[in-house]
Chain A
Amino acid sequence: MTSWTTPARDFLEERLRAHRRRFEADGAEADEVMSDLREHVMQEAAAQGLTVVTEVDVRRLLARVDPMLLEEPTGGESGDGTGAIADPAPPTFPGVPSDPPRSGFQRTSVEILLGLFGVLLPLGTIGLEWTQRLSALELTDPIPTPFHGILLLLVPAVYALGLWFRFRRPGSAPGFYPWLLAVALGVSGAYAAAFAPAYPVALVGVLYFGLGLIPLTPLLAWIVGWILWRRARIEARENGHPWPRWAWVLSWGVVAALGLAALPGFLTEELIRTAVHGDSQGERFQAIQRLRSWGDSDVLLRACYGRRVSIWDNLLDRRPAAAEAVQQVYFQVTGQPFNAVRPPLNQQWGVGRQVLSDFEWDRSLGGETVAGQVSGLSLRSSRLDGQVSVPDGWEYVEWTLEFQNDNDSRQREARAEIQLPPGGVVSRVTLWVHDEEREAAFAGRGETRAAYQQVAVAQRRDPILVTTSGPDRVLMQCFPIEPRGGTMKVRLGITAPLLPVGTGELECTWPRFTERNFRIDPALEHHLWLEGGQAPARVPSGAFAEASKPEVLRSRLKQSLVSDGFDPIAFAVDPAPRPSAWAVDDRSTPTGWVRQTLVDRPPLAPGRLAIVVDGGVDGREAWEAIRKGLGASTARGDLRVYVASDGVHRVAEVLEGPYRAATNPMDRFVWNSPPFVGGQDPIPALEEAWTWVTGSQDGRVLWIHGPVPVLLGDTASWLQSMDRLGDRRASLIDFELRPGPNLVTKGLGSRPALQVWPRIGGLEADLARCLDRMGGVQGGREWRRERVGTAPDVEARGSRHLVRLWARDHILDLAGQRRVADAVEWAGRWQLVTPVSGAVVLETRAQYAAAGLKPVDPLTTPQVVPEPQTWMLMALGLGLLAVIGRHRGRNGAGGSV
């Protein structure tokens, strides 16, 4: 198509008018001749392939068509300049709208349309997308980064600038404007291509319903940009301004750059799909490896929170991988649980949350997994009140947590997996309802969960549930935390033995989160108060003793300490064997007495030792510590070292030799094929190691690993082998490199073969101690608790916590013997959360009655202050009954508990 510039048109018209008289003098009709000549020149220009006809072109054409037209007519031949001859009807010239002469109204209308589609519509669409994220949900995310937001805003800004230059004076744009326009044109072109799948639907919407302009915005903006581009170029030429020859290259460069920037995300999406839905195991494994090499971790993390089916998906006939499957892929690729990483939100402008559907819609509500973080939920305050009895060797910690929900509309459930101190048990659960403390009912695990789900999910009232989640771990969940700043306050009381280390120390350790679905502000401090009968021998940094009471220790713990592990507090004990401590079990019939003694523990009997090392990212740091520990070990025996890294690697084997002999093959293995990438499946290596160690008596598998948030393999075969062969012949020692979910040990339940190695210090020190123990080099001390039916010959002054700790062990024994009913009865009697029992707080008496549960008497719960003696309990109980009687008399039956 040929466009005529205004000067070209004006020049031709001027020449024709100048020769009007001459045409008339020839006996012709001047208007006809002028029209014919005009048409002829237009056709000539088109025949020559001119896209833009300028005044120079007109001169050249006239010189060929009729040179006389370029000359001034002689004498009276001139038809112009006198004003006597009427201007003919305006001719029609082909080309862009600016070329034909237009009325002011027409000119303004075009500019208004350009402003509407090139400035206002893009601005409105960006604002809408900014706040609502509609395209990000349904098509593709146009603002994945702040940089993309700036680029998008550049488009209407540059177009507005161009229109303003034209309004001021056509051709007045400065020299840099073509470059700006090139960038804007490239941005709108790239987005026009990205949104192409939406055009058919949008066009139908516009044609039939008058709606749907928003998806067309990138295309309309590109068209406006193109028009402005052409006009600016023509005007620049006419005004003698150079038009940068390479501006179009920049424009295409922007398109290419945006395409390249989107490529990793696109490829990551494809690789995720292959990793989940690949036809063969090899294909899936290859996709995982590629994701490890150059996958976009942000895209991967977003997919972990679920993604809707987009128009692109429908166009390409594909379905996004399910969130649960991607969470597994995320672990395989990064070695991290997806919920251990902050959700990929764009904090700069606070949008993007709805893109993560699971972040907004909590699909795990009332379930048995922590799952990903949900929007708006955070930990508001945290307080740890502890009491320790060094002579009796126990600690009792009450962890009070307050959650806050800042979501605008949705109620939230707070969920957290909490690692207890080794050998610990939850012995108290409290929920604040209307600022009143409500104690939990302890009953069978299934009963408490059913009651929670009924009240939480169905009735949406105020319950909290605590159940075990593997050895020394519990899952805490409470619901509903009301939106717009609603809070919920809970307290977990934990009874645990002090941990004997060496022969002269008892260590007090603390609960900590291994998984959570709420945010914790890095600045939040956990306030710690520990009260005991004697001053600690060693305290962690940041803790300080009260000036007036040296036996009181205080600290403000940073979140990182609570998550990653807070150094234990050590108390000195007499190295000589201590006399027994006694406590009365007056809740059983007949009454019994529990005796606890700190006894020497002999070194383990020699047996096969298999060390299974996590071949994921967590194993990298541990590898050198393991090598050092083995190198320094004086132990001898049968040893194998396995690495679980995309399969099973038997790295070293020592038969009846020193453990340190394993270090050379370990070095060779790492030199030849360095593992430690992503997250690995430990099951094949554990199964092979288990099979080997059960070939002898007293075999041990030491599993050194990071978090295991997903089960990548089938454990059935291994569990069968464990149940049939090894439960009494071997043991599995779980050595965690850092706190995190562990679905392997969770799946093992309360099997006696499973032992958790307590982490109390640095990796090297803990590993050295563990290897010495496993190699039969070192003994140690341990608590021995037993219940006797006859009264001891000394006064039983010990705390009931001793009975709780004995009961916990007894319940595990009963569960191992499949005497579940007896185990549940013991758990209810001593109010303990065990693998067979849970604790639930409901809001009303009617809810308890409907669930067949009974909340515990507040006077029977443990407290951080010394527990009251029996006579005090009776007096307090009578007083409480009197208060309750008066309260019920006022409010009637069926009120709150």
Chain B
Amino acid sequence: MSDFFDNWVVQVRKGVIELCILRTLAVRERYGYELVKELSEVPGLGLTEGTLYPLLSRLRVAGLVSTRLEESASGPARKYYALTPEGRRTLKTMNAYIETMHDSAQKVGGAE
């Protein structure tokens, strides 16, 4: 593939990864290691485990996710991530936007 495509993929993924994080947490709260393992196995996202933590931190700073620590019987305390109400609203908006964008992109010039 060309460098152009690679750059394009990086740009597309940036936004989609955050959407995927929010969608995953919309189902139920997850602790960090569990969340990272789940998303890193999603094909196409090209996600490495280490890159998720800065994103999660940024989402928390933005008030979209909250964290809490819970003691674990099998090791150190686990850090659980959950959507905040703000995060749910934002996710709804993002979902609507991505659908619109997807539909629009499909309509432009006709699908191949």
Contact = CB atoms under 8 A, between A and B. Distances in A.
Contact of B32 (A26, A27, A36, A69): A36
Interface string B50-83: 1101111110110000000000000110010000
A40 interface: yes
A28 B53 CA distance: 8
A68 interface: yes
B31 to A, nearest CB: 10
A23 B79 CA distance: 19
B51 A66 contact: yes
B49 A36 contact: no
A62 B50 CA distance: 8
A37 interface: yes
A87 interface: no
A46 interface: yes
A28 B57 contact: yes
Contacts of A94: 75-76
B55 to A, nearest CB: 7
B22 interface: no
B36 interface: yes
B33 interface: yes
B75 A33 contact: no
B48 interface: yes
A64 interface: yes
Nearest to A93: B76
B79 A36 contact: yes
Nearest to B34: A43
A64 B49 contact: yes
Contacts of B49: 40, 64-66
Contact of B54 (A33, A44, A62, A65): A33
Interface string A53-82: 000000000101111110000000000000
Given A26-B58, A46-B75, A92-B76, A39 B33 contact: yes
B48 A66 contact: yes
A26 B76 contact: no
Nearest to A47: B33
Given A36-B32, A43-B75, A64-B49, A29 B61 contact: yes
A39 B50 contact: no
A28 B49 CA distance: 16
A65 B33 contact: no
A40 to B, nearest CB: 6
B76 A42 contact: yes
A436 interface: no
Contact of B79 (A39, A44, A67): A39
B103 to A, nearest CB: 30
A463 to B, nearest CB: 79
A66 B50 contact: yes
A94 B72 CA distance: 14
Nearest to B56: A36
A64 B60 CA distance: 25
Interface in A344-373: none
Instruction: Output the residue of B36, B53, B58, B61 with the most chain A CB within 10 A.
Output: B53
B75 A36 contact: no
B48 A23 contact: no
A36 B76 contact: no
Contacts of B79: 36, 39
Instruction: Output the residue of A27, A62, A64 with the most chain B CB within 10 A.
Output: A27
Contacts of B61: 27-29
Contacts, number: 67
A33 B57 CA distance: 6
A18 to B, nearest CB: 13
A424 B79 CA distance: 103
A32 B57 contact: yes
Given A39-B79, A40-B33, A43-B75, A28 B50 contact: no
A66 B56 CA distance: 15
Interface in B5-39: 32-33, 36
B23 to A, nearest CB: 20
Contacts of B36: 40
Given A36-B32, A39-B33, A46-B75, A65 B57 contact: no
Given A32-B60, A65-B48, A67-B48, A39 B54 contact: no
Given A36-B79, A39-B32, A40-B32, A26 B50 contact: no
Contacts of B53: 28, 32-33, 36-37, 40
Contact of B57 (A23, A44, A66, A69): A23
B37 to A, nearest CB: 9
B56 to A, nearest CB: 7
Contacts of B57: 23, 26-29, 32-33, 36
A26 B48 contact: no
A27 B58 contact: yes
A28 B32 contact: no
Nearest to B40: A65
Nearest to B48: A66
Contacts of B51: 66, 68
A313 B51 CA distance: 66
Contacts of B54: 22-23, 26-28, 33
B50 A68 contact: yes
A863 to B, nearest CB: 97
Interface in A8-29: 22-23, 26-29
A37 B49 CA distance: 9
B71 to A, nearest CB: 14
Contacts of A26: 54-55, 57-58
Contacts of A33: 53-54, 57
Contacts of A44: 33
Contacts of A28: 53-58, 61
Instruction: Output the residue of A22, A64, A65, A69 with the most chain B CB within 10 A.
Output: A65
Contacts of A67: 48
B77 to A, nearest CB: 9
Contacts of B56: 28, 36
A62 B56 CA distance: 19
B58 to A, nearest CB: 4
A43 B35 CA distance: 13
A774 B24 CA distance: 115
A37 B57 CA distance: 11
A69 B50 contact: yes
A63 to B, nearest CB: 10
Nearest to B77: A39
A27 B75 CA distance: 29
A750 to B, nearest CB: 87
Interface string A785-821: 0000000000000000000000000000000000000
Instruction: Output the residue of A22, A26, A62, A68 with the most chain B CB within 10 A.
Output: A26
B45 to A, nearest CB: 15
A68 B57 CA distance: 18
A712 B51 CA distance: 90
Instruction: Output the residue of B54, B56, B61 with the most chain A CB within 10 A.
Output: B54
Given A27-B61, A36-B32, A68-B51, 13 more contacts: A28-B57, A28-B61, A29-B57, A32-B53, A39-B76, A39-B79, A40-B32, A40-B50, A43-B33, A66-B49, A68-B48, A68-B50, A94-B76
21 contacts: A26-B55, A26-B57, A27-B54, A28-B56, A28-B61, A32-B53, A32-B60, A36-B32, A36-B53, A36-B56, A36-B79, A37-B53, A40-B50, A42-B75, A42-B76, A44-B33, A46-B75, A66-B48, A67-B48, A68-B50, A68-B51
Considering the complex of A and B, which 9 residue pairs feature the smallest CB-CB distances, nearest first? Answer: A66-B50, A28-B57, A28-B54, A26-B54, A36-B53, A27-B58, A65-B49, A65-B50, A28-B58
